[in-house]
Homo-oligomer: A and B are copies of this chain.
Amino acid sequence: MDANWDDLRVFLTLAREGTLTTAAKTLGVSHPTVARRVQALEKQIGARLFERLPDRFVPTSAGEELLADTEAMEKAAHSIHRRSAGLSDTVSGTVRLSAEEATAALIARYSAELRSKLPQIEFEVISSHTLANLSRREADLLIREQVPELGGIVARKLGRVAYAIYAARTLPVKRSSQAALAALPWVGFDDDHIRMPGQSWLLEYRAGRRPEIRGNNWLVLHEATRTGAGLAVLPCHLGDPDPMLRRIGGIIPDVFADQWLLVHRDLRALPRVRAVMDAVVELFQQERPLLEGRS
């Protein structure tokens, strides 16, 4: 007959902690319970797993031998635990949302408002230039510019983000010709992020000249621009609310980013995921003018 799997969990904790009292605290049981369950396991296995010293328990060589497999069980149990967090069908729990950096900043700006609407939900915003994987539960919800071809993904259109040229109000920029503007110093993404919105547009605008100040995220670009390092193409929802920035010209018609909310079909029915989806959709409706540069 197999050993009680749960007693193996106790064994592993005691081997790690070294004393009954600390292991009991970690496991949330009493210390005699730890002792008894280890004793039951020793009886089941037929070997002594610990030497009992006056002030601690030390694994025997037999005990040492079982550790690796028990740790493998723990690893799998942790995976189950993580997955089960996504299976819970209550309103409470964590919802993890992954979005491109500027959009993540927008969501984060309203996270207090989301939290007051959905107080039982813990909310995690992951900003990333790379695609989180819904199938692998790296995130519960994604906001992306395109709908992936993968089966099982459900998409809702949130709206469109517009972009414009921005400069610090303290930077002396005259409304002049394209050539004159292009000759000024600029702030943009580095070569590795040339595919970010507006960067290929800027390269063409400046006849192939790269921005003088380059960074790898919107925060860097935003900070450099608002402190006068140069001009930059920024999303309107980032530039317009900042009193230190002003637009140079109107929105750029050729530079935009559609926003789609993606969810795995299996998760859509979960109350907490649906609640967050609805709240995000409502937020984007409410902020539509800001997103489109019409505020």
Binding site for B on A (CB under 8 A): 1-9, 28, 45-48, 61-62, 65-66, 69-70, 72-73, 75-77, 79-81, 83-84, 87-90, 93, 266
| B70 with A83: CB separation less than 8 A | no
CB of A88, distance to nearest CB on chain B (Å): 3
Chain B contacts for A48, CB-based, 8 A: 89
Residue of A61, A72, A73, A93 most packed against chain B (CB within 10 A): A73
Chain B contacts for A66, CB-based, 8 A: 80, 83-84, 87
Chain B contacts for A79, CB-based, 8 A: 69, 72
| A88 with B47: CB separation less than 8 A | yes
| A5 with B3: CB separation less than 8 A | no
Roughly how many angstroms separate A70 CA and B2 CA in the complex, as a whole number? 15
Given A2-B81, A28-B1, A77-B3, are A87 and B62 also a contact pair (CB < 8 Å)? yes
Roughly how many angstroms separate A1 CA and B73 CA in the complex, as a whole number? 16
Chain B contacts for A70, CB-based, 8 A: 76, 80
A-B contact pairs, 7 of them (CB 8 A): A3-B80, A6-B6, A46-B84, A70-B76, A72-B72, A72-B75, A76-B76
A2-B9, A66-B84, A73-B73 given; name 5 further pairs at CB < 8 Å.
Answer: A3-B80, A3-B81, A45-B84, A46-B90, A72-B73
Chain B contacts for A77, CB-based, 8 A: 2-3, 5, 8, 69, 73
CB of A60, distance to nearest CB on chain B (Å): 9
Roughly how many angstroms separate A80 CA and B71 CA in the complex, as a whole number? 11
Look across to chain B and name the residue whose beta carbon is closest to the beta carbon of A84.
B45
CB of A33, distance to nearest CB on chain B (Å): 14
| B88 with A46: CB separation less than 8 A | yes
Chain B contacts for A4, CB-based, 8 A: 6
| A8 with B5: CB separation less than 8 A | yes
CB of A213, distance to nearest CB on chain B (Å): 47
Chain B contacts for A84, CB-based, 8 A: 3, 45-47, 66
Look across to chain B and name the residue whose beta carbon is closest to the beta carbon of A60.
B87
